[in-house]
Amino acid sequence: MRRVSLQPAYVLHRRSYRETSFLIELLTPEFGRITVSARGARQRKSTAQGLLQPFTPLMVAFAGKGELMSLSDVDAHGEVRQLKGDSLFAGFYLNELMMALLERWDAHPALFAAYDRTLIALQESPLNQRILRSFEKTLMEELGYGLLPKNPAVQNELFQSEKYYRFVPEQGFVVSELGGDAKTIASLFSGKSLLSIAKEDWQDEDAMRDAKRLTRFVLAPLLGNRTIHSRKLFMQLGEVKNDEE
């Protein structure tokens, strides 16, 4: 029997379970993504239902055997992150990504800390895309798909601003002879953009767009046929706004 108390957590997803309970997917720093049953949390007298919401910092206790744990206690552990508008969609996008990509019981304390910082930053309005690009980069690094070196000396050794590089799965970036004439090729990136992405220097709009493109390119085979619904809905709403302008 495993017993854990006083563990920080965020709700990634919840669904009804039996007549009065929830199944909750939690993100924790020490245990990664875990599934717990919150017995009786759907009853009117339960105070847990209001707490077990996305973007609420929690302190939880749980116990059990195997994959499914039983939630024994939950308390608020700070102020609810107030996400609105596009930032709310962005928050659900992060949750869906981690639900799809994180293995259960695989601890990522650095990712938990990055997620907490990201939610705090997303409270600012309007949505700053730089926040999402930084989190996506951290997520890929934590999953073992960090494509760019963190050491500035190594970055400058591998990439030159004036050159173009093609991303080859399971091999990395190779110099391309196609150059800027082939910017439409999905796997082609400028050295300038790659250096900016590696340093998380989001001042360059081209680097921002290339970071988003690189993330989609790398995550596509990892996600397979799974749809990130929040991203799809966000794109549809963006199209509606453009039509109205």
pLDDT tens digits, 66-98: 889 999 999 999 999 999 999 999 999 999 999
- Identify the three-state secondary structure at position 90: helix
Cβ within 8 Å of residue 152, ≥6 positions away: 199
Question: Residue 44: pLDDT band by 50, 70, 90 thresholds?
Answer: confident
pTM: predicted TM-score of the whole model, two decimal places? 0.88
Summarised one tens digit per residue, pLDDT across range 109-134 is 999 999 999 999 999 988 999 999 99
- If one counts every other C-beta atom within 10 angstroms of the C-beta of residue 29, the result is 18
- If one counts every other C-beta atom within 10 angstroms of the C-beta of residue 186, the result is 12
Provide the pairing of β-strand 68-76 with 32-38: parallel
Cα–Cα distance measured from residue 196 to residue 210, given in angstroms and rounded to the nearest whole number: 10
pLDDT for 233 equals 66
- Beta carbons of 217 and 167 less than 8 angstroms apart: yes
129-142 vs 205-223: helix crossing angle, rounded to 10? 40
Q: Which residue has the higher pLDDT, 171 or 191?
A: 191
